[in-house]
Amino acid sequence: MLTHFSCKCCHAADNNLVGELPSELFNIPIRIQLILHGNKGLTGTLPQSVGNSKLIFLELQNCNLHGTIPMEIGSNNKLDTLDLSNNTFSGTLPNELGKKMRILKLHSNNFTGNVPENYGKLKKLKKFEIFGNPLIETIPNTLCTDTQIRRIEIDCDESENSTQVCICCVCRK
């Protein structure tokens, strides 16, 4: 167990890490930025302990992670940035996210269903990327009116009518 961990930023991006994502990383007793993107050999799922962690920044894009986002992630009120893009996460999005969330990148996965209404309560949210998922049915207009987001890129069908999804949605080209 990592009990004497002292760095505030664990930056191991593009380091050819191989193996299961260690759950111990989410038990570090200090606020930390965890940046592990680009490690295609990193496998596994996001542990439930992400909700109790002191993570403030989590970048796991372009790895080989799968499974669902644990609902417990909504308990982490310190998390400012979450980037899980370009993996094979699936299922529906968690109903709750921490109130400090500013950047949420979930594109290029296998998420389905609706974007939860509660995401409109994330007043600090500036960036939300959800394109590249097989089926995102609706995005609440409160994401456009009640957050700092001004534009959400989505995948569109041939009609390219993005306003059917949300009022600030634009078709990704």
Q: Is 49 helix (H, G, I), strand (E, B) or coil?
A: helix
Strands 32-35 and 9-11: parallel
Instruction: State how far the alpha carbon of 99 is from the alpha carbons of 6, 75, 77, in Å.
Output: 26, 9, 6
Q: How big, in percent rounded to 5, are the helix, strand and coil portions of the chain?
A: 15, 30, 55
- For 111-152, what is each residue's pLDDT tens digit? 998 899 999 999 999 999 999 998 777 889 999 999 999 888
β-sheet bridge partners, residue 135: 112
Res 2 pLDDT > 60 = no
> What whole-number distance in Å separates Cα of residue 51 and Cα of residue 76?
5
Rg (CA), the chain: 16
Res 15 pLDDT > 80 = yes
Confidence of residue 165 (pLDDT cuts 50, 70, 90): confident
Tokens of 12: 């191991």
- For 68-101, what is each residue's pLDDT tens digit? 999 999 999 999 999 999 999 999 999 999 889 9
Q: What residue segments make up the domains of the chain, in order of their start?
A: 9-171
Query: What does residue 64 show for φ and ψ, rounded to 5 degrees?
Result: -130, 50
- In this predicted structure, what is the pLDDT of residue 150? 87
- Is pLDDT larger for residue 5 or for residue 173? 173
Query: What does residue 162 show for φ and ψ, rounded to 5 degrees?
Result: -75, -20
Confidence of residue 1 (pLDDT cuts 50, 70, 90): very low
User: What mean pLDDT do residues 3-7 have?
Assistant: 50
Tokens of 158: 């041939």
Confidence of residue 162 (pLDDT cuts 50, 70, 90): low
pTM for this entry: 0.90
The correct CATH number of 9-171 out of 3.40.50.10420, 3.40.470.10, 3.80.10.10, 1.10.3720.10 is: 3.80.10.10
Closest CA to 82 of 114, 124, 27, 113: 124
Evaluated on CA atoms 171, 80, 26, 11, the torsion sign reads positive
- In this predicted structure, what is the pLDDT of residue 25? 87
User: What mean pLDDT do residues 104-115 have?
Assistant: 94
- For 31-66, what is each residue's pLDDT tens digit? 889 999 999 999 999 999 999 999 999 999 999 999
